[in-house]
A = this chain, B = another copy of it.
Amino acid sequence: MSSIDSSSFPSQFQQESLKLINGFISIKSAAFYLIDPNMSHKGIVTHNMAKEDDKLYQSRYMHMDPLNPNLFENSSETVVHMDSIMPAQFIEQSVYYQDFLKPLNYRYATDIFFRSEGKIIAVITLLREKTQGIFTEEELSLLRKQQPFLEYALNAVYLSKRITERKSIGERYQLSSRELDVLELVISGANNKIIAKELMLGLATIKTHLQHIYQKVGVVSRTELLSRVIDDLKAVG
Q: Could you tell me which A residues sit within 8 Å of B by CB distance?
A: 2-5, 8-9, 12-13, 16-17, 19-20, 23-24, 115-117, 142, 145-146, 148-149, 152-153, 155-158, 160-161, 186-191, 218-224, 226-231, 233-234, 236-237
Contact of A12 among B4, B145, B156, B187 (CB under 8 A): B156
* Closest chain B residue to A161, Cβ basis: B234
In the complex, how many angstroms separate the beta carbon of A153 from the nearest chain B beta carbon?
A: 5
Q: Is B219's CB under 8 angstroms from A156's CB?
A: no
Q: Is B189's CB under 8 angstroms from A228's CB?
A: yes
Cβ–Cβ < 8 Å partners of A191 in chain B: 221, 223
In the complex, how many angstroms separate the beta carbon of A142 from the nearest chain B beta carbon?
A: 7
Q: Is A189's CB under 8 angstroms from B224's CB?
A: yes
Cβ–Cβ < 8 Å partners of A157 in chain B: 153, 156-157
Q: Is A115's CB under 8 angstroms from B2's CB?
A: yes
Cβ–Cβ < 8 Å partners of A190 in chain B: 223
* Closest chain B residue to A149, Cβ basis: B20
Contact of A20 among B19, B145, B228 (CB under 8 A): B145
Point out which of A116, A149, A190 has the most chain B C-beta atoms below 10 A from its C-beta. A149
Cβ–Cβ < 8 Å partners of A229 in chain B: 230
Distance of A158 Cα from B155 Cα, bound (Å): 12
Known: A13-B156, A220-B3. A24 touches B142 (CB 8 A): yes
Q: Is A227's CB under 8 angstroms from B19's CB?
A: no
